[in-house]
């Protein structure tokens, strides 16, 4: 999925090992030392551009996260083997999905002029054909260098010098010093007790807090609520609003937050959110929406290790620039910063940007363990809540929980409307009840990209692992 993902992005991990508390890995790149509000205003901008070199203003942290995850998990395979298949596909070609074609076409006007984009992702200026093979020779060489020299080379070796030199040449504020200063962090995940077990997610600067709040608030109001009913959908949507009120006001670089995110996961705070929900009426909306696209991956092994991992370049193809010397498509995560000094998301050198990325993990009361997640900006915590509530709270089959109709409050995938988008496969009686309750309902086609791409794995108490992939996506469940 090169339109959603690249080693020029950031990544976040939740890793669970038997007998140990889950561990988070935060591989979030900070703003460049030259990336100041004055720097952008002097360049004639009253907002950070979404595309181009000026949007490439934060370090790409994903590769450092790979290293931190390897060191924590103690994997037995050498780096050369771990990267072998990726190198082969980059060198010899990977199939182009219809999703890639669709989103390349949708944003071609703004992406094609960006440095290196057309050479990497177009063919003589035209879209690649779905199911054709696309090669990335410069990226293959970069992955070979990482396999040979080690992942640190991305930040402190020859690769770091090549990356920073080309970024500077193109006009990005990133410099070698920014790469040299970067390192991934091991962090304690946020957690919240639920009636069915304990759920975990990443702390700020991600929106993991919102994901956990939605589950915990809904858990408090779901007595007597049937699965797939109006009360189920309405309850989750209203729980989302309560969580987003907190997220939109507080979540940012944790060093700048004036509140402890764990305080919002305590019983009293969650009870207040639950009591603020009208079971029959929709709360007026919107709050400011969040945009973003990404990929989620989950893995479990026979020794009890489980991983929930999410990696992204933010918008489709990120900044749009592809460094020709290394083949790296750089993210535009830093375009989420504000040039308003009063904003809690104000740009400043060394700050971490707000992240929609949030991998989810739960240890259920009966001994099962679950990892799940999805892409789609505002839709990430909402689809997570739909899948988890169906599976863990209502006992649905895992694939059924992923396949069933979903919804999205707000925008995603470049859509500006902030309505409650509902797949037209949802029970018409539920849709009518949502309308009656005051929700601004907008029907979207069934199996729509609007509601994101979800996936999940569950380890059962007998050691069996079950998985579900989203029919809305090109993802699969694979057993090796």
- Kindly write down the DSSP assignment for every residue of 22-39, as one continuous string: -EEEEE-PPBPTT--HHH
> Helices 208-221 and 379-388 sit at what angle, rounded to 10 degrees?
40
Are the CB atoms for 335 and 149 separated by under 8 Å? no
Q: What is the pLDDT of residue 411?
A: 63
- Give the whole-angstrom CA distance, residue 203 versus residue 306: 19
Q: Among 103-112, 331-340, 449-458, where is mean pLDDT lowest?
A: 449-458
pLDDT recorded at residue 290: 53
Q: With helix as H, strand as E and coil as C, how does 299-342 read?
A: EECCCCCEEEEEEEEECCCCCCCEECCCCEEECCHHHHCECCCC
* Residue 95 backbone dihedrals phi, psi, to 5 degrees: -70, 140
For the chain, what is the mean pLDDT? 94
In the chain, the percentage of residues whose pLDDT exceeds 70 is 97
Query: How does strand 293-300 pair with strand 369-374?
Result: unpaired
- Judged on CB neighbours under 10 Å (0-12, 13-18, 19+), 344 is middle
Count Cα atoms within 13 angstroms, Cβ side, for 100: 22
Could you report the per-residue pLDDT of 281-323, keeping only the tens digit for each?
999 987 655 555 678 999 999 999 999 999 999 999 999 999 9
Token reading at 209? 């807090």
What percent of the chain has pLDDT above 90? 90
Positions annotated as catalytic residues are 294
Element (DSSP H or E) covering residue 104: helix 98-106
Give dist(CA 205, CA 276) in Å, integer.
26
pLDDT at 376 over 90: no
pLDDT of residue 413: 47
**Residue 412 pLDDT > 80, yes or no?**
no
Token output for 200: 């975990």
Q: What is the DSSP string of 69-91?
A: HHHHHT-SS-HHHHTHHHHHHHH
Give the mean pLDDT of 164-187: 98
Locus of tokens 């500006």? 416
pLDDT 10s digits, 52-94:
999 999 999 999 999 999 999 887 899 999 999 999 999 999 9
- The whole-angstrom separation of Cα 52 and Cα 31 is 16
Q: Which residues of 166-204 are buried (b: 16+ CB within 10 A; e: fewer)?
A: bbeebebbbebebbeebebeebebbbbebebbebbbbbb
pLDDT per position as a tens digit, 250-279? 999 999 999 999 999 999 999 999 999 999
3-state SS assignment for residue 291: coil
The arithmetic mean of pLDDT across residues 173-197, rounded, is: 98
Interatomic CA distance for residues 450 and 415, integer angstroms: 9
E strands present in 147-236: 185-187, 190-194, 197-201
């Amino acid at each position: 999925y090169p339109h959603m993902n690249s080693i020029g992005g950031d990544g976040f991990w939740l890793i669970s090992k038997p007998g140990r508390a889950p561990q988070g890995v935060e591989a979030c790149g900070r703003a460049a030392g030259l990336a100041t509000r004055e720097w952008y205003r002097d360049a004639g901008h009253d907002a950070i551009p979404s595309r181009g070199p000026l949007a490439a203003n934060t370090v790409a942290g994903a590769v450092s996260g790979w290293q931190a995850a390897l060191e924590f998990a103690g994997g037995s395979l050498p780096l050369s083997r771990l990267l072998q298949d990726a190198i082969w596909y980059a060198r010899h070609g990977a199939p182009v999905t219809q999703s890639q074609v669709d989103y390349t076409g949708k944003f071609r006007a703004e992406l094609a002029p960006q440095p290196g984009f057309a050479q990497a992702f177009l063919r003589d200026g035209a879209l690649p054909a779905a199911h054709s093979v696309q090669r990335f020779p410069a990226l293959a060489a970069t992955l070979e260098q990482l396999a040979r020299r080690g992942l640190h080379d991305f930040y402190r070796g020859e690769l770091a010098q090549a990356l920073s030199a080309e970024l500077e040449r193109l006009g990005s504020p990133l410099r070698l010093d920014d790469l040299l200063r970067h390192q991934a962090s091991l962090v304690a995940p946020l957690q919240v007790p639920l009636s069915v077990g304990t759920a975990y997610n990443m702390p700020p600067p991600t929106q993991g807090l919102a994901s956990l709040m939605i589950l915990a608030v809904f858990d408090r109001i779901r007595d007597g609520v049937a699965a797939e009913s109006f009360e189920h959908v309405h309850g989750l949507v209203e729980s989302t609003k309560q969580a987003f009120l907190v997220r939109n006001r507080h979540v940012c670089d944790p060093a700048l937050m004036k509140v402890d995110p764990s305080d919002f996961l305590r019983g009293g705070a969650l009870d207040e959110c639950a009591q603020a929900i009208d079971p029959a009426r929709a709360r007026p909306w919107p709050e400011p929406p969040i945009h973003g696209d990404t990929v989620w991956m989950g893995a479990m092994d026979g020794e009890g290790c489980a991983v929930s991992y999410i990696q992204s370049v933010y918008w489709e193809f990120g900044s749009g620039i592809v460094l020709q010397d290394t083949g790296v498509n750089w993210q535009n995560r830093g375009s989420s910063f504000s040039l308003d000094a009063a904003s809690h998301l104000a740009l400043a050198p060394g700050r971490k940007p707000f992240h929609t990325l949030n991998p989810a993990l739960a240890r259920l009361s009966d001994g099962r363990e679950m990892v799940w997640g999805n892409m789609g900006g505002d839709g990430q915590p909402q689809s997570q809540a739909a899948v988890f509530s169906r599976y863990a709270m209502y006992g649905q089959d895992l694939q059924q929980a992923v396949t069933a109709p979903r919804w999205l409050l707000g925008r995603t995938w470049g859509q500006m409307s902030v309505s409650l988008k509902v797949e037209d496969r949802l029970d018409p009686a539920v849709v009518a009840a949502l309308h009656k309750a005051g929700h601004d309902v907008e029907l979207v086609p069934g199996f729509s990209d609007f509601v994101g791409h979800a996936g999940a794995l569950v380890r059962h108490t007998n050691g069996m692992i079950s998985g579900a992939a989203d029919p809305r996506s090109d993802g699969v469940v694979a057993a090796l």
